[in-house]
Amino acid sequence: MPKWTEYKRIAKERGALALELYVVNTVPAGPDVDLPGTLPDHLAYQARLEAEGKLAFAGPVSDASGENMTGEGMIIYRAASLEEADALAAADPMHSRGVRTYSLRRWLINEGSFSLSVGLSTKAVDFS
């Protein structure tokens, strides 16, 4: 199995996008944590990172059934390194206040597509 940097080089050589992002899986630290009370500061932090171009995507994830909210989430960062992404995650009020814990991984985007439609006069945006 090649090391991460070797695999990234190989992916680029074969013409893949090889865009490296960072995935944070975030889970409540326990049943009695104050998720609602921390949410406004968390969302303000996310908005700041989005404005700085460091936040690619973020939002809640369901449980395995796909039916229930559990307070878990996923955050995708744009960062220069794993260490920078870890610092971004650690500074999130949810994590810095001990409301959630997180795990962090590198993600290499090679394939896929998305569509974006922007209505200039209507200011409507559709992302799919």
Element (H, E) at 41: helix 35-51
CATH number for region 18-111:
3.30.70.1060
Q: Which residues contact 104 (CB under 8 A, 6 or more apart)?
A: 22, 23, 24, 82, 85, 86, 89
Q: Quick one: average pLDDT of 24-33? A: 94
Reported as a single tens digit per residue, the pLDDT across 53-71 is 999 999 999 999 999 998 8
Q: Quick one: average pLDDT of 89-115? A: 96
Please give the torsion angle defined by the CA atoms of residues 92, 95, 97 and 99, in that order, rounded to the nearest 10 degrees.
Answer: 130
Please give the torsion angle defined by the CA atoms of residues 3, 8, 9 and 10, in that order, rounded to the nearest 10 degrees.
Answer: 90
